[in-house]
Amino acid sequence: MRTGRGARAGQYAALLAYLVFLAFPFLWLVSTAFKSPRELGSLHPAWIPDDPTLANFRQAFDEQPLLHAALNSLLAALSAALIAVVVATPTAYVMARRRSALARAATGWVVVSQAFPFVLLIIPLFLVLKNLRLIDSVPGLVMVYVVWALPFALWMLTGYVRAVPAELEEAAAVDGAGRLRTLVSVTAPLLAPGIVATALFAFVTAWNEFFFALVLLKTPEKQTLPVVLTHFIGAEGVADLGPLAAAAFLATLPSLVVFAIIQRRITGGMLAGAVKS
């Protein structure tokens, strides 16, 4: 069935509208970051700043240790993503392939654990970490991020493992490949897009996380970017809008870059898996 020209144009228009809807907050953030305080106080704000300025960026860097905070965030997010994937991948494999009661219970627990709001967890978590002397330390924060990301990572990866036909592994076994060889040479490459997507999810979750970092880190030198960003907000929600937008814009860049680099690989990998099955 061929799509008519009008219908195709309509599809593109809908897609464009959706893209604009998604991109609007980000584009507005970028626009705000380059505006002077006077322009920010204008009743009819323009998309393109009349007199673009870098003053907000300068002020943001002068007032807050943004680079240092970004490094802390990067360290925490990368570590959390790596550990989450290393722990979740084999676990998800077992949960997907073994149809035991334990696997079913684990899957149920993963779903249930998502229902707990973090405000319920923070005080017990704080006390546990305090006993482990992990308060005010990035490793402590990484541990929390891993625990926080793990249920969803497991759930995601279990789905990916299920999508890899067990027949492929059986075929490899028939060809004489051992268990480990099958996992490494057959299953792992097919799972790669899922692992990358899961790592990305864990990375972005940790990169953006605010509350745990606020509560667990005390030393200014260890604070992560989302915590430092709140320093531009005053009492009753009054914000130093220009520097806040400038800093927030910079804070979104790593996620954007990471997505841009690996997006094609994720999609490509998924398609490759689909064809093989």
CB of 13 to another protein, least distance (A): 32
* CA 98 to chain centroid: 29
DSSP for 165-218, please give it.
-HHHHHHHHHTT--HHHHIIIIIHHHHHHHHHHHHHHHHHHHHH--HHHHHH--
Q: Work out how close the CB of 170 gets to another protein at its nearest, in angstroms, rounded to a whole number.
A: 22
**CB nearer another protein, residue 147 or residue 214:** 214
Closest CA to 56 of 251, 276, 253, 247: 247
- Minimum distance between the CB of residue 95 and another protein, rounded to whole angstroms? 21
In DSSP terms, 239 is beta-bridged to 233
**Among 1, 238, 274, 275, contact with another protein (rule: CB under 8 A):** 238
Minimum Å gap between C-beta 161 and another protein is: 18
CA distance 198 to 214: 25
Which is closer to another protein, CB of 84 or CB of 95? Answer: 84
- Quick check: 61 binds another protein (CB under 8 A)? no
Q: Which is nearer to another protein, 104 or 130 (CB)?
A: 130
215 vs 258 by CB, closer to another protein: 215
DSSP one-letter string for 109-149? HHHHHTTS-HHHHHHHHHHHHHHTT-TT-HHHHHHHHHHHH
Structural contact between residues 264 and 54, judged by C-beta atoms closer than 8 angstroms = no
State which of residues 53, 59, 208, 252 lies at the interface with another protein (CB under 8 A).
59
Strand partners, 233: 239
The alpha-carbon radius of gyration of the chain (Å, integer) is: 23
Q: By CB under 8 A, is residue 220 in contact with another protein? A: yes
Which one of 4-12, 96-104, 147-155, 212-220 is the stretch in contact with another protein (CB under 8 A)? 212-220
CB nearer to another protein: give 37 or 254.
37
Instruction: Enter the tokens of residue 40.
Output: 């920010």
At 275 the three-state DSSP class reads: helix
- Could you tell me the smallest distance in angstroms from the CB atom of residue 178 to another protein? 14
Residues forming the site for another protein (CB under 8 A) = 37-38, 40-45, 59, 62-63, 75, 79, 82-83, 86, 119, 122-123, 126-127, 130, 133, 135-139, 142, 184, 210-211, 214-215, 218-220, 222, 227, 230-241
